[in-house]
Amino acid sequence: MKKVWVLPLFIFFLLGGGIVICYVLAVELGHVQKPPYWPTVSQTGVNTPERGWFTMFLMWGSFLSLTSIYFYHKHAEEVIEQTRNEETETQCTKLKRCNIAALVVGSIGCFGISMVGAFQTGTPNATKDTHYAGAFIAFISLLTYSWLIAYISYHLQNGSIINDKTTFFKFTFEMTPQNSYVTMGIIT
């Protein structure tokens, strides 16, 4: 468990690399327009062979994200229990509930990611609607998950287990995707 920090980094490179691979395949095979006209990520996974890669990368990303969410849940649970005493009982109970909510919401977000990968946009309308529903579920759930873990991390810092610098970097790292989520939501 000492090298568990590698998992989120691996997920970042897996999904980022997957998007690049799908885009390059789609451009080279003439399935999307070349720059300066940028396709949406979903448009790069419509035709074969990039469709298979798109599905594979998103399914693996979804599974590994769920694993990372579970690891964070267990870590926060352990820190909450270590800081529990008579003075912090109410706060620890609130954080424990928030931690469970983060696990549930994050899991729902991972399900949304898998829906995006399983149902591409270039197929019949029912599948396209499912794709967009999965994207919406993933967007809202993972945005909420980011807020929840930022809240949990901030309050765990008060337990003197985590110092101020670590909390600042964790908070910044956790809130950075917010900008991406909001930007993607506005652009699409």
Please choose, from the candidates 12, 15, 66, 64, the residue with its C-alpha nearest in 3D space to the C-alpha of residue 44. Answer: 15
Q: What is the dihedral of CA 35, 39, 45, 47, to 10 degrees?
A: -70
Model pTM score? 0.80
If you write DSSP's letter for every residue of 81-137 in order, what string do you get? Answer: HHH-STTTHHHHHHHHHHHHHHHHHHHHHHHHHHHHHHS-TTS-HHHHHHHHHHHHH
**What pLDDT sits at residue 98?**
96
**What pLDDT sits at residue 123?**
65
Are the CB atoms for 77 and 96 separated by under 8 Å?
A: yes
The Cα 149–Cα 73 span in angstroms is 9
**What pLDDT sits at residue 10?**
85
Alpha-carbon distance values, 182 to 14, 51, 139, 176 (Å): 22, 26, 9, 11
Digitized pLDDT (tens) for each residue of the chain, 188 residues in all: 577 778 888 888 888 888 888 888 888 888 887 766 777 777 777 778 888 888 898 899 999 999 999 999 998 999 888 888 887 788 888 999 999 999 999 999 999 999 998 888 876 666 788 888 999 999 899 889 988 988 888 788 765 444 556 666 666 666 666 666 666 555 55
Residue with tokens 């993933």: 138
